[in-house]
Amino acid sequence: MSTTARLSRSVPTDLAALIADLVPSSGTRTAVIAMSRDDHPKATVMVFVDGQREPLMALKVASSPTAAASVAREAAALRTIAELDPTCVAGLAPRVQRLLTLGTTTVLVTSARPGAPLSTAYHRLGHTGSARSVRADFALAAAALTRLAAVPTASSLAPSSWLRQLATAPPGEDTADADLLRQLSDVVGQPSRAGVVHGDFWCGNLLHRGGRATGLVDWEHATVAGDPLRDWVRFALAYSLYLDRHTRPGHRVRGHHDLRCGPEDAGLRYAVDGPGWYPDLVRGFVRRGLGLTGRDPQLWRQALLGGLAEVALTADHADFAALHRHALRALA
């Protein structure tokens, strides 16, 4: 939900003073566009200069030590990327302007990227039922990941796969998932070289306009020398989650003949094992990620199952972990 208000009424005064300091001699408006109210409160505030349609800056305001650590990690990742690639991933990644402490909050100030998050289009009625629209979204994601792959990394060594890293020190206590993860990581193998990994590559963090990717935000989980396949798998799985959003329970999902609105993991299972244009698209996408990281494209199924195991073991929210675990058990 987006709320826009005059600066003086919308943000705490110390933040208002910070913005006045960052944008002297201009009137500004702010819009709070994302706010998490969980144990680690964080808000994203976009700053607009009066008279301009595009935001000038994004402020990520963290109000707990854990949230502060996350935005500090994001700042570090973005700074390293800017050093490795002065174009900042061909302009997709924001530039860090400041990381500072204001009272009890930590604030990360970055440049704003233009465009709208792809998640807005995704949730629009009819969007994911259109093969043409969905293909365009996957093409957008592939273009962004291909740009990411072009960032020179500090290390020329092949890292272990992201699955192997997880399997070596599995979080949580589910040994069945951990065992499966180990087996999958053996099969999927390691990437041919290390690359930048965004780490939370889904529609909500990918901005677009006019059919082109315009921004990639939210780098809290990024690593600069990891296994890039992780982002390809993550995108495909996350995209598959809510295909049935606008469908009544038990009914066929429009545009997806073989998917019915049912259990929460229906879209995930359909993506991995279903027939039709959508599962084909997912496979083609993951094959591309496998090829790009020097692996056998035929391993797409194992890579997707590995991605399910990853979420089952690492998701913050128990329900989200459980639905991925359910899909994994049904498919494995």
Ligand X SMILES: Nc1ncnc2c1ncn2[C@@H]1O[C@H](COP(=O)(O)OP(=O)(O)O)[C@@H](O)[C@H]1O
What stretches of 112-263 adopt beta strand conformation (E)?
116-117, 195-197, 206-209, 212-216, 223-226, 252-253, 256-260
C-beta of residue 274 within 8 angstroms of C-beta of residue 258: yes
Build a one-symbol-per-residue string for 37-56: x at contacts with ligand X by CB under 6 A, - elsewhere: -----x-x------------
C-beta of residue 82 within 8 angstroms of C-beta of residue 196: no
Phi, psi (deg, nearest 5) at residue 46: -95, 140
C-beta of residue 31 within 8 angstroms of C-beta of residue 46: yes
Q: Check binding of 218 to Mg ion (CB under 5 A).
A: yes
- Cα–Cα distance list, 47 to 55, 56, 91, 121, 275 (Å): 6, 6, 19, 23, 45
- Please give the size of the binding site for ligand X, defined by CB under 6 A: 18
Query: Closer to ligand X at the Cβ: 204 or 276?
Result: 204
Build a one-symbol-per-residue string for 115-154: x at contacts with ligand X by CB under 6 A, - elsewhere: --x-------------------------------------
Q: Indicate the helix (H) or strand (E) that contains 58.
A: strand 57-62
Segment lying near ligand X (by CB under 6 A), choices 34-42, 75-83, 84-92, 251-259: 34-42
Segment lying near ligand X (by CB under 6 A), choices 32-40, 83-91, 289-297, 321-329: 32-40
* Interacting residue with ligand X among 33, 76, 158, 187 (CB under 6 A): 33
Indicate the residue whose CB is closest to Mg ion: 218
Q: Check binding of 58 to ligand X (CB under 6 A).
A: yes
Q: Indicate the helix (H) or strand (E) that contains 306.
A: helix 300-314
Segment lying near ligand X (by CB under 6 A), choices 3-11, 108-116, 142-150, 156-164: 108-116
Q: Check binding of 274 to ligand X (CB under 6 A).
A: no
Q: Helix, strand, or coil here: 258?
A: strand
For binding to ligand X (CB under 6 A), which residues are involved?
Answer: 33-34, 36, 42, 44, 58, 60, 94, 110, 112-113, 117, 204-205, 215, 217-218, 220
